[in-house]
Amino acid sequence: MEVYVRRGDTFWYYSQLFGIPLQLLIDSNRQINPNALSIGAEIQIPGFLVQNYQIKPGDTLWTIATNRNLAWDALLLVNPELNPNFLKIGQTIKVPIRVTWRLVNGKQNYDYATMMNDIRQLQTVYPFLQTPSIGNSVLGKEIPQVLIGNGTKRVHYNGSFHGNEWITTPIIMTFLNDYALSLTNQQPIRGLYTYPLYSQSNLSIVPMVNPDGVDLVLHGPPEQEPWRSKVVEWNNGSTNFSGWKANIRGVDLNDQFPALWELERENGPKTPGPRDYGGEKPLSEPESIAMADLTKSRDFARVLAFHTQGEVIYWGFQNLEPPESEVLVKEFSRVSGYEPIRSIYSYAGYKDWFIQDWRRPGFTVELGLGKNPLPLSQFDEIYEEALGIFLAALYM
């Protein structure tokens, strides 16, 4: 929601008027110096939308504001031309509406277009979110990152490294929505007030690492050649892609990182296919390159890669993980009920590479139980399990 600066207005005044933490206002208006507001400048108020309202008999600005739990000056801010002493029956004015509901609907086949639309809606209502691109997929889809937080502790979450594990994306997006709702409404999640998390951490989220793979699983082969013919061939002639983990080139993106990649290559398939083919060399795919470049540039304190399924958390790699990893995974296990597993005979994964090169905590969280892709009937249960992990990775 936009308002226009009047003489004497300050960010502190807007914070009090709308009940929004001051830092969220500042972060929603990064291009503006909060100490030198210009009269007429457009200011974004996070957590609000405007709705048209038609004046009825007996309405006054005070009664309209009171009925909506608003200060009447909030109505004047969004209606700068309004004369409060001369309201006309039938006249249309704008009324601020505090957003108290989720914009993200995770309980649907959650493809790339749905995610991008939700990110746009979230950024409109919560302009303190930043959404830079980290790169593009093989088919040219932009891979967005969402940044939220004003602190120094850099934390990273990602989902949908594997196409048929796409449910991780709406799980992550629902948390992002709930986190933003909690911040602007100053309401706790599980008894935890989230503004301290915002002020202490800077959370990076890549909700869909593999957009081509997700769309392939949900919609079948793309129209464009040669990809349509190739993926059907690599899928043994089948147009059922429910078992497809790889990107559109048949490369498993979580077998792409230079962390004993040669061992994974030796044990895995040697040609493109639905799963487990690590490519001809590490970091050959644009999606894995984008994730590697992001990780190098952001210098994360810890990373969590969300996959399905198994209700386990993998937290080690070649005994290179720091002692902090065990402390964290015990808390993740406590709040989710998931089993911590230090390591398995698997290499070249994103968290493996992070642990190896940074010697910092990295985790692969396997959400839910069953056969991929997990059914949406599990969504609520998985989200409640994951929610504790999302929060703990910020407060620990």
Sheet of 302-308: strand order equals 146-148, 201-206, 153-159, 302-308, 362-367, 312-314, 339-341
Q: What is the sign, positive or negative, of the torsion defined by CA atoms of 345, 351, 355, 360?
A: negative
| Residue 54: other Cβ atoms inside 10 A | 10
Region 40-65 average pLDDT: 95
Structure-token pair, residue 62 = 């005070």
Q: 288-296, long-range: CB within 8 Å, 24+ apart, which pairs? A: 288/253, 288/256, 288/257, 289/135, 290/134, 290/135, 290/136, 290/143, 291/134, 291/158, 291/206, 291/209, 291/253, 291/350, 292/257, 292/353, 293/134, 293/135, 294/134, 294/145, 294/204, 294/206, 295/156, 295/354
Query: At residue 372, what are phi and psi to the nearest 5 degrees?
Result: -75, 145
Question: How far apart are the C-alpha atoms of 256 and 272, rounded to whole Å?
Answer: 13
Q: pLDDT, tens digit, for every residue of 297-320?
A: 999 999 999 999 999 999 999 999
Is the confidence at residue 344, as pLDDT, over 90? Answer: no
The three-point CA angle 270-274-279 to 5° equals: 40
Question: How far apart are the C-alpha atoms of 257 and 285, rounded to whole Å?
Answer: 10
Domain 2-98 has CATH 3.10.350.10: yes
pLDDT confidence of residue 346: 87
Instruction: State which H helix or E strand residue 202 sits in.
Output: strand 201-206
Is the confidence at residue 343, as pLDDT, over 90? Answer: no
Which residue in 255, 259, 253 sits closest to 358, CA to CA?
259
347 noted as active-site residue: yes
Q: What is the sign, positive or negative, of the torsion defined by CA atoms of 114, 120, 124, 125?
A: positive
Question: How far apart are the C-alpha atoms of 97 and 110, rounded to whole Å?
Answer: 28
Question: How far apart are the C-alpha atoms of 300 and 302, rounded to whole Å?
Answer: 5
Is the confidence at residue 369, as pLDDT, over 90? Answer: yes
Is the confidence at residue 92, as pLDDT, over 90? Answer: yes
* CATH code given to domain 112-213+282-395: 3.40.630.10
- The active-site residue out of 264, 285, 366, 385 is 366
pLDDT confidence of residue 27: 98
Query: At residue 313, what are phi and psi to the nearest 5 degrees?
Result: -130, 115
Q: What is the sign, positive or negative, of the torsion defined by CA atoms of 175, 180, 185, 190?
A: positive
pLDDT confidence of residue 345: 83
Region 126-148 average pLDDT: 98
Region 289-296 average pLDDT: 98
366 noted as active-site residue: yes
Question: How far apart are the C-alpha atoms of 351 and 36, rounded to whole Å?
Answer: 44
Is the confidence at residue 72, as pLDDT, over 90? Answer: no
- The active-site residue out of 14, 314, 338, 347 is 347
pLDDT bucket at 157, cuts 50 / 70 / 90? very high
pLDDT confidence of residue 273: 98
Q: pLDDT, tens digit, for every residue of 371-394?
A: 999 999 999 999 999 999 999 999
* Residue extents of the structural domains in the chain: 2-98, 112-213+282-395
Residue 190, sorted as left (phi over 0), alpha (psi -120 to 50) or beta, turns out to be left
Is the confidence at residue 209, as pLDDT, over 90? Answer: yes
Which residue in 240, 238, 212 sits closest to 227, CA to CA?
212
Q: What percentage of residues in the chain have a pLDDT greater than 70?
A: 100
Structure-token pair, residue 285 = 């795919």
Of the given ranges (55-64, 210-219, 282-291, 299-308), which has the lowest mean pLDDT? Answer: 55-64
Q: Is 121 helix (H, G, I), strand (E, B) or coil?
A: helix
pLDDT confidence of residue 261: 97
